[in-house]
Chain A
Amino acid sequence: NAGVMQNPRHLVRRRGQEARLRCSPMKGHSHVYWYRQLPEEGLKFMVYLQKENIIDESGMPKERFSAEFPKEGPSILRIQQVVRGDSAAYFCASSPVDRGSFEQYFGPGTRLTVT
């Protein structure tokens, strides 16, 4: 059973470009979470999605950021017009159930560098 997959592992974008980060949850998991980790900091929640639904996007910046989890295919975190402050590691996690008591399984992350 493959774990949570994220690609690309490393992404370099110039200021103003778009970044697309992909996450394939573990098989059988229909709940996906995105977190951002700035250097030397803990992870900060961004958005929680189920298939075709955004459940909680309270941690996502209001502008330039969007996320989706379509019926088929991976979850996508999209950052438009990237700025240097977007440079961070972005982690996706998945779980099989809609319960806070259940641990989340994390992917290896995508490290975004904005030049």
Chain B
Amino acid sequence: AQSVAQPEDQVNVAEGNPLTVKCTYSVSGNPYLFWYVQYPNRGLQFLLKYITGDNLVKGSYGFEAEFNKSQTSFHLKKPSALVSDSALYFCAVSFQTGANNLFFGTGTRLTVIP
């Protein structure tokens, strides 16, 4: 069965420190992996995606993510957190064949402490 796991409901980090939001997946076949961010009472905004090629993907607002096939992970990272990064982050996966819909993790609430 296809699934996406975000093992941490909440991540707290001090402003200026590096941040990591974890995501692991379980799929058959090769996945397409996405990160989205949701601010309060807003829709989801696309941050970045991994399709193929370089395992390190750079996205919006200074975020990046590393695809690790052996660990089936796609962790979101940023070298220096900003207070404005505080939001809800969702990892999602879709597939090369079959349905085009996204399967989402349960989300991780990131709080950046000034």
Contact = CB atoms under 8 A, between A and B. Distances in A.
B45 to A, nearest CB: 7
Nearest to B34: A103
Task: Please classify how large the interface on chain A is, using the bins under 10, 10 to 19, 20 to 34, 35 or more.
Answer: 20 to 34
Nearest to B31: A100
Nearest to B106: A42
Contacts of A91: 43-44
A100 to B, nearest CB: 4
A41 B106 CA distance: 5
Contact of B104 (A43, A48, A95, A103): A43
Interface string A95-115: 100111101111111010000
Interface in A41-64: 41-45, 48, 56, 58-59
B43 A101 contact: no
A26 interface: no
Interface stretch (B12-20, B67-75, B77-85, B92-100): B92-100
Interface of B: 32, 34, 36, 41-46, 49, 51, 90, 94-96, 98-107
6 contacts: A43-B102, A101-B32, A106-B43, A108-B42, A109-B42, A109-B43
Given A43-B104, A48-B99, A103-B46, 19 more contacts: A4-B43, A33-B100, A41-B107, A42-B105, A45-B101, A45-B102, A45-B103, A56-B99, A56-B100, A59-B101, A100-B94, A100-B95, A100-B100, A101-B49, A103-B34, A106-B45, A108-B43, A109-B42, A111-B41
